[in-house]
Amino acid sequence: MPDVSLPTRMHKIRGLLSLPRSSRTVPILLLLILVAVPLITPSRSMLNLLTEIFIMGIFAMSYDILLGYTGIVSFGHALFFGTGAYMTGLIFARTGPKLGYLFLAIGGGILLVTVMALIIGYLSLRLKDVYYAMITLAFAELFFIIAEKWRSVTNGADGFSFNVPAVLQDRVVYYYVSLVLLALIVVFLRRFIESPTGKVLQAIRENEKRAEFLGYDVLKFKLISNVIAGVVASFAGVAWALQQRFVSTGVMTVDKTIDALLMTTIGGTGTLYGALLGSGITGMAKNWLSELAKVHPIFERWYIIFGLLYIGIVLFFPGGILGTLMRIRSTKNKPSVTISAGD
Amino acid sequence: MAEPIIRTQDLTIMFGGHTAVDHVNLDIMPNKFVSIIGPNGAGKTTFFNLLSGQFFPTSGRILFKGHDVTDIPAHLRTRLGMGRNFQISNIFPDLTVLENVRLAVQARSGIHYQILRHHRKYSRFSDQAMALLESVKLSGKAAQPSRFLAHGEKRKLEIAIILALEPEVLLLDEPTAGMAVEEVPAILELLARLKTDKRTILLVEHKIDMVMSLSDTLVVLANGRLLAQGNPRQIMENEQVQAAYLGGIAP
């Protein structure tokens, strides 16, 4: 009798923990479509737009690690994005457009961002909620001002342009490069949030005190979250600089962080894919609305329209688009879940 | 005589001018069921918060298994062998019931910083968590988000979480607080079952009749001071206690 019941019980537990199988089909299908896009359309602007969406999607996903998975609101996340972008820009501007220097930019970015994330995190992550958000705002402004004033290096808000290796200048090649980067980061971040450490982050988001009284060192976990989110954001910054071939203090602004915050909230926090969806919607809407400017000048102020869209989503879909969809699906499945768990 | 598992020496905490816990010297012997009772505002929960590391004392010391833990943060006290619940249910509301317990099992196992392996690879954590849920009769709700549980079930879930930590000392702060009358017997039965195991249980309780039969020792706090301690009968007969706490209830 026991040798029958134990495996069944274990099987039941596995069943309870595993996600519906379709959670993998959608991303893979989407990836295949995206791989095919350059074969279907030769439109340069389309490829550029998608590349931008991928890169901002990486940035937004890194923000979701903080906001959606650890439950911390940061206004200084662009700091890490900007560090990656400046690292790339400065190295290429001062040396030459050789591929080897790219690895220097990536490696240097990882190192610098890790140190920054640890120091800033150590100084600020002890504070809770609003106070933490305020400290990150202060750090963001501090680094923005440094970048602004240190004109001999950064050329301030005017920025500077630089050449990138010839192979990366090809739009189709760079489209695939950024798509591969995106896919790798999705795999890595999914792995991370499903790891024992990632699960503890979600526990901290839910109830910091309880996590602490389970014996988890909350500050250390928040630091890990901050470093991983920071490093991923710096990758996005590197990719961004390579696409734009231009860096200015714009990459460091609080606006940039707010962009990631909006994308994550629109798509759905704590879902990872929601951040990507948010990046897609934001990118498409921006593009579409600025094209409508030819029809009527009001659309030049696309940010206003976007603001209305954002308010609508926050009011009517508090879980974001993906979050709301998932909730609908889980309520639909609920009776079957209860039965399978109850018997 | 055995060494006390917890010893407080002149334990004191002041909030502004108010002394919430006032020079408490208390020895808790291992493998006993000790209940701390006292009127509202006696400092019971504050005393608990000092023991578990949520507050740090103004003066005095706390010894746990002979070691001075006065300045040790809460998460390390948990790892040393203290497990506590809270008067207001303290769970992870959006995570499933099973995940709530699984996280505690994982914490106990010491797998904290592992970022590249899938958590489901550690299937023994889930199995152990499921077994604990069965022991508090919640296994049927394992897949639900824990916020959907009834109040009494949340308290049971909390107990399962603490048991997963395999603590030497269980610190339970009013496990029946805010509970419907019909839910109380299930918790009492659970507490009675916990008692049979080899562990020290320290319970804070407001309702004295509830803990009478369960406790080996009663500790009475009043106005932050240790008023009396002894077995339930001694406490009931103690005139000081009757005056300060039981008032008109006892004859």
Q: Place A332 in a pLDDT band, splitting at 50, 70 and 90.
A: low
Scanning every residue of chain B, which has its alpha carbon at the shortest distance from the alpha carbon of A6? B127
Two tokens, residue B150: 């009834």
Task: Tell me if chain B has a CB within 8 Å of the CB of A289.
Answer: no
* Average confidence score pLDDT of chain A: 85
Two tokens, residue A250: 């714009």
C-beta neighbour count of B126 within 10 angstroms: 23
Q: B250: burial class by Cβ within 10 Å (0-12, 13-18, 19+)?
A: middle
CA-based max dimension of chain A? 78
Q: Do B119 and A9 touch (CB under 8 A)?
A: no
Q: Bridge-partner residues for B218, per DSSP? A: B35, B230
Is the pLDDT assigned to residue A242 strictly greater than 90?
yes
Q: Place A343 in a pLDDT band, splitting at 50, 70 and 90.
A: very low
Residue of A17, A216, A338 with shortest CB distance to B75: A216
Residue with the bigger pLDDT between A323 and A273: it is: A273
Q: Bridge-partner residues for B11, per DSSP? A: B24
- Concatenating the DSSP letter of every residue in A268-310 gives -TTSSHHHHHHHHHHHHHHHHHHHHTTT-GGGGGHHHHHHHHH
How far apart are the C-alpha atoms of B4 and B67, rounded to whole Å? 11
Alpha-carbon distance A314 to nearest alpha carbon in chain B (angstroms): 19
Scanning every residue of chain B, which has its alpha carbon at the shortest distance from the alpha carbon of A219? B75
Please give the average per-residue pLDDT across B20-29, as a whole number: 89
- Concatenating the DSSP letter of every residue in B77-143 gives HHHHTEEE--SS----TTSBHHHHHHHHHHHHHT--S--SS-GGG-HHHHHHHHHHHHHTT-GGGTT
Q: Which residues of B are less than 8 Å from A192 in CB distance?
A: 115-116
How far apart are the C-alpha atoms of A206 and A129, rounded to whole Å? 13
Two tokens, residue B5: 């598992």
Scanning every residue of chain A, which has its alpha carbon at the shortest distance from the alpha carbon of B80? A215
Residue with the bigger pLDDT between A298 and A197: it is: A197
Q: Which residues of A are less than 8 Å from B84 in CB distance?
A: 213
- CA B128, B134, B140, B141 torsion: positive or negative? negative
Q: How open is the CA angle A193-A199-A202, to the nearest 5 degrees?
A: 95
Task: Tell me if chain B has a CB within 8 Å of the CB of A195.
Answer: yes
Asked whether A173 and A187 are in contact (CB, 8 A), the reply is: no
Q: Which residues of B are less than 8 Å from A221 in CB distance?
A: 112
- Residues whose CB falls within 8 Å of the CB of residue A161, separated by 6 or more in sequence, listed in order: A245, A246
Task: Tell me if chain B has a CB within 8 Å of the CB of A39.
Answer: no
Domain extents in chain A: 42-333
Scanning every residue of chain A, which has its alpha carbon at the shortest distance from the alpha carbon of B142? A341
Q: Place A1 in a pLDDT band, splitting at 50, 70 and 90.
A: very low
Is the pLDDT assigned to residue B77 strictly greater than 50?
yes
Asked whether B5 and B62 are in contact (CB, 8 A), the reply is: no
Size of interface A-B (CB pairs under 8 A): 127
B73, B74, B80, B83 alpha-carbon torsion, rounded to 10° = 170
pLDDT at A257: 93
How far apart are the C-alpha atoms of B215 and B228, rounded to whole Å? 15
Asked whether A66 and A74 are in contact (CB, 8 A), the reply is: yes
Q: Mean pLDDT highest for which of A43-57, B28-42, B190-204? A: A43-57
Alpha-carbon distance B88 to nearest alpha carbon in chain A (angstroms): 11
> Which residue is it, tokens 């890790």?
A114
Asked whether B108 and B173 are in contact (CB, 8 A), the reply is: no
Task: Tell me if chain B has a CB within 8 Å of the CB of A209.
Answer: yes
Two tokens, residue B100: 């709530």
> Which residue is it, tokens 């309880």?
A210
Is the pLDDT assigned to residue A85 strictly greater than 90?
yes
Task: Tell me if chain B has a CB within 8 Å of the CB of A21.
Answer: no
Residue of A194, A209, A214 with shortest CB distance to B119: A194
Q: Which residues of A are less than 8 Å from B172 in CB distance?
A: none
Q: Place B222 in a pLDDT band, splitting at 50, 70 and 90.
A: confident
How far apart are the C-alpha atoms of A17 and B98, rounded to whole Å? 9
Is the pLDDT assigned to residue A14 strictly greater than 60?
no
Q: Which residues of B are less than 8 Å from A213 in CB distance?
A: 52, 74-75, 78, 83-84, 90
Residue of A16, A196, A220 with shortest CB distance to B111: A196
Q: Do B116 and A338 touch (CB under 8 A)?
A: no
Scanning every residue of chain B, which has its alpha carbon at the shortest distance from the alpha carbon of A200? B103
Alpha-carbon distance A213 to nearest alpha carbon in chain B (angstroms): 5
Region of A216 please: left (phi>0), alpha (psi -120 to 50) or beta.
beta
Q: Do B118 and A194 touch (CB under 8 A)?
A: yes
| Residue spans of alpha helices (H) in chain B | 44-52, 74-80, 97-109, 123-135, 151-164, 184-196, 208-211, 232-237, 239-241
For strands B67-68 and B82-84, give the pairing.
Answer: unpaired
How far apart are the C-alpha atoms of A132 and A124, rounded to whole Å? 6
How far apart are the C-alpha atoms of A147 and A144, rounded to whole Å? 5
3-class secondary structure, B24: strand
Please give the average per-residue pLDDT across A157-174, as a whole number: 88
Rg (alpha carbons) of chain B, rounded to whole number = 19
CATH class of A42-333: mainly alpha
3-class secondary structure, A94: helix
Q: Do A214 and B122 touch (CB under 8 A)?
A: no
Task: Tell me if chain B has a CB within 8 Å of the CB of A189.
Answer: no
Q: Which residues of B are less than 8 Å from A13 in CB distance?
A: 98, 123, 126-127, 130, 142
3-class secondary structure, B67: strand
Residue of A17, A198, A215 with shortest CB distance to B126: A17
Alpha-carbon distance B126 to nearest alpha carbon in chain A (angstroms): 7
Task: Tell me if chain B has a CB within 8 Å of the CB of A216.
Answer: yes
Among residues B32, B46, B43, the alpha carbon closest in space to that of B4 is found at: B32
Q: What is the pLDDT of residues A204-215, one digit of tens each?
A: 999 998 999 888
Name the helix (H) or strand (E) containing B171: strand B169-173
Q: Do A215 and B76 touch (CB under 8 A)?
A: yes
Q: Do B95 and A206 touch (CB under 8 A)?
A: yes
Q: How many residues appear in chain A?
A: 343
Task: Tell me if chain B has a CB within 8 Å of the CB of A194.
Answer: yes
Asked whether A280 and A53 are in contact (CB, 8 A), the reply is: yes
Task: Tell me if chain B has a CB within 8 Å of the CB of A192.
Answer: yes
Least confident of A117-121, B143-147, B179-183: B179-183
Please give the average per-residue pLDDT across A236-248, as a whole number: 94
* Average confidence score pLDDT of chain B: 85
